[in-house]
Amino acid sequence: MAYALREWNDVDGEPSTFDRLFLDQYERIAAIAFRILGDRDEAEDVAQDVFYSYYRQHQPDAPYAAAWLARAAAHTALNVIRGRQRRSRREETVHGEHAAIHDGPADPEQSALEAERRSEVREALARIGEKQAAVLALRYSGLSYAEVAAALGVTIGQVGTMLRRAEAALRKELIHETH
């Protein structure tokens, strides 16, 4: 059931439940997407898409809201990467790397090496299983084991094992890519 007819503000002018959810979770959701994509604009687009999808399909005060949003951010961002790769193959062009924003002057050679490595990791993430990529993205975005477990719908005890297996799969992909 869609809830697209909800008002953005309550009758008394206070922020609605959805507004509060958005304000509480937006930075976290955008950070998850940024960790995967490496592009702030794309990460914000993903965050907005995720919140819009949530708004249309779920109650804002649902107990699973934060977990759903985190999982959707990881999956949506990974889909953006996969879409990039498909588009790149179709167009037969080299996948362009989005330069990272640095606070101060950086060594151009080091910056280029770092950008290349980030690109390799993103491509490898797109090749491993979706759940493995999601567990890595969520954990390395700063979520605790409990938050990762809630987002993926698993127990906290499973997160460590999933994380180790995902890291091994990512390492294997990265090694395979360099050979």
* pLDDT exceeds 50 at position 7: no
Domain residue ranges of the chain, discontinuous segments joined by +: 17-178
Q: d(Cα 38, Cα 62) in Å, to the nearest integer?
A: 30
Tell me which residue of 95, 150, 145 sits closest to 122, measured CA to CA: 95
pLDDT digits (tens, 9 = 90+) for 92-138: 433 343 444 444 456 788 888 888 888 888 888 889 988 999 999 89
| Mean pLDDT score across all residues of the chain | 82
| Predicted structure pTM score | 0.56
Tokens linked to 51: 């919140």
Q: Look-up: residue for tokens 């490595």?
A: 117
Confidence of residue 5 (pLDDT cuts 50, 70, 90): very low
Place 12 in a pLDDT band, splitting at 50, 70 and 90.
low
Domain 17-178 fold:
Butyryl-CoA Dehydrogenase, subunit A; domain 3 (1.20.140)
